[in-house]
């Protein structure tokens, strides 16, 4: 059974930084696509960043490109999201997700992922 556990969320002022961590228990192939998603209150979930080692690809949404960095440590079964230059519009619940190892056509689409964590909240004040 795969379980994803996010941590590292919190409250910061605009311009601040946070580093989110997603711990993985259970087996996820090292080539499988993993990603970070977020959902603001009253809005739909959106893909933020994804790591797809099978094709040596990294993906970012336009909203976070240049500010966020996704990385993974497969030896320690951990996915990270470094968030710099945070803006109030980055506020929301952040979720880690993992694909089961199947081909992923759209890494920033939530429907591509089988496993989800419970989320960690991020609040950015102006």
pLDDT digits (tens, 9 = 90+) for 43-66: 999 999 999 999 999 999 999 999
pLDDT over 90 at 42, yes or no: yes
Apex 46 CA angle, 13 and 52, nearest 5: 105
Distance CA 103, CA 4 (A): 20
**Mean pLDDT along residues 9-34:** 96
Do residues 100 and 108 make contact, with C-beta atoms less than 8 angstroms apart?
A: no
Residues paired with 68 in a beta bridge: 83
């Amino acid at each position: 059974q795969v379980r994803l556990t996010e941590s590292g969320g919190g409250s910061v002022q605009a311009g601040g930084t946070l580093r989110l961590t997603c711990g993985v228990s259970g087996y996820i192939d090292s080539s499988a696509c993993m990603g970070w998603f977020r959902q603001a209150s009253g809005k739909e979930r959106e893909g933020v960043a994804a790591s797809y080692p099978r094709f040596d690809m990294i993906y970012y949404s336009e909203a976070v490109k240049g500010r966020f960095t996704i990385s993974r440590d497969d030896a320690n079964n951990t996915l990270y999201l470094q968030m710099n230059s945070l803006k109030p519009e980055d506020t929301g619940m952040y979720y880690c997700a993992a694909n089961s190892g199947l081909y992923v056509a759209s890494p920033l689409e939530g429907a591509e992922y089988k496993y989800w964590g419970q989320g960690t909240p991020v609040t950015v004040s102006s």
